Amino acid sequence: MEVFCNNKIPLFFVVLLATLTTLAQGQGTQNGFYQTSCPRVEAIVQAAVAAADRANAGVPPGLVRMFFHDCFVNGCDACILLNGRSTERTAPPNSLLRGFEIIDAAKTELERVCPGVVSCADILALDARDSVLLVINYFLNTLGELRTGKGLNAQDLVTLSGAHTIGTAACALFSYRLYNFNNTNGPDTSIDQAFLPTLRNLCPNGGDGSRRVALDTGSQNRFDKSYYANLRNGRGVIEFDQVL
């Protein structure tokens, strides 16, 4: 789909990720919710989404679309899974059909591992989140091609990334870095260990995912070099900023 092309991908999906994860957490599920009852839930869902993406790159956007339709009307209750096939009278896109299959596959495996524990609504939310992350990772992997096409060098990209230094981010967008990064049950090791307690205090595990944190710690309302110094010292709040 043309709408997912070009260098508008990162900003669109970062904003969308923040919106979707905040919305999902607002329904009651928090990071680590299934840590005890079904610890493999995120790994299983991630594997299903990754396999689908390898087979058809149009599937992740379809999953995000499904999540949007599910949550927009009556909240994130997985109602789209009950009538989604029957209401798509005019041949739904292949990505949506595959979306149903991915959710079914994840649900089947989860029922085998921890029967009756993980709700379909949460599977759909995790699918959408992982789909967005896949696209962001794709952007990171092709960053060199994008900057070459636009005549930008690495310094240009880093400078542009500092344009949002007066902004904030919801805890839901980055708290995965603080407690269970890449399913390690630990924090992102790129975070400065002296800075980690500060972030955890602002965003406690299972806390309010909508709480907002300054992206430029110590210099939120000034456009200066503090943002870049923070990144060099492992004090980037958003993973994308720290990697870039």
Tens-digit pLDDT string for the chain (244 aa): 333 333 334 444 444 554 444 444 444 566 678 889 999 998 899 889 888 888 887 788 788 888 888 887 677 888 877 754 433 434 445 555 677 888 888 999 999 999 999 988 899 989 888 887 776 676 555 555 655 656 666 666 666 666 555 578 888 888 889 998 888 889 999 999 999 999 999 999 988 888 888 888 777 666 667 778 888 889 988 887 777 6
Of 69, 147, 200, 211, the catalytic one is 69
Q: Is 88 flagged in the annotation as binding?
A: yes
CA pair distance 113, 51, nearest whole angstrom: 19
CA pair distance 41, 54, nearest whole angstrom: 20
Annotation says 69 is catalytic: yes
> What pLDDT, on the 0 to 100 scale, is given for residue 149?
58
Q: Is 26 flagged in the annotation as binding?
A: no
> What pLDDT, on the 0 to 100 scale, is given for residue 24?
43
Q: Is 241 flagged in the annotation as binding?
A: no
CA pair distance 93, 79, nearest whole angstrom: 19
- CA dihedral over 72, 76, 81, 82, signed as positive or negative: negative
> What pLDDT, on the 0 to 100 scale, is given for residue 179?
92
Phi and psi, residue 115, nearest 5°: -60, 135
Q: Is 70 flagged in the annotation as binding?
A: yes
CA distances 187 to 89, 91, 205, 207, Å, are 46, 44, 12, 16
> What pLDDT, on the 0 to 100 scale, is given for residue 142?
59
> What pLDDT, on the 0 to 100 scale, is given for residue 5?
33
> What pLDDT, on the 0 to 100 scale, is given for residue 113?
94
3-state secondary structure the chain: CHHHCHHHHHHHHHHHHHHHHHHHHHCCCCCCCCCCCCCCHHHHHHHHHHHHHHHCCCHHHHHHHHHHHHHHHHCCCCHHHHHHHHHCCCCCCHHHHHHHHHHHHHHHHHHHHCCCCCCHHHHHHHHHHHHHHHHHHHHHHCHHHHHHHCCCCHHHHHHHHHHHCCCEEEHHHHCHHHHCHHHCCCCCCCCCCCCHHHHHHHCCCCCCCCCEEECCCCCCCCCCCHHHHHHHCCCCCCHHHHHC
Whole-structure pTM value: 0.51
Q: Is 130 flagged in the annotation as binding?
A: no
Question: Which domains can be identified in the chain, with CATH numbers?
Answer: 2-141 (1.10.520.10), 152-243 (1.10.420.10)
CA pair distance 102, 53, nearest whole angstrom: 10
Q: Is 216 flagged in the annotation as binding?
A: yes
Amino acid at 47: A
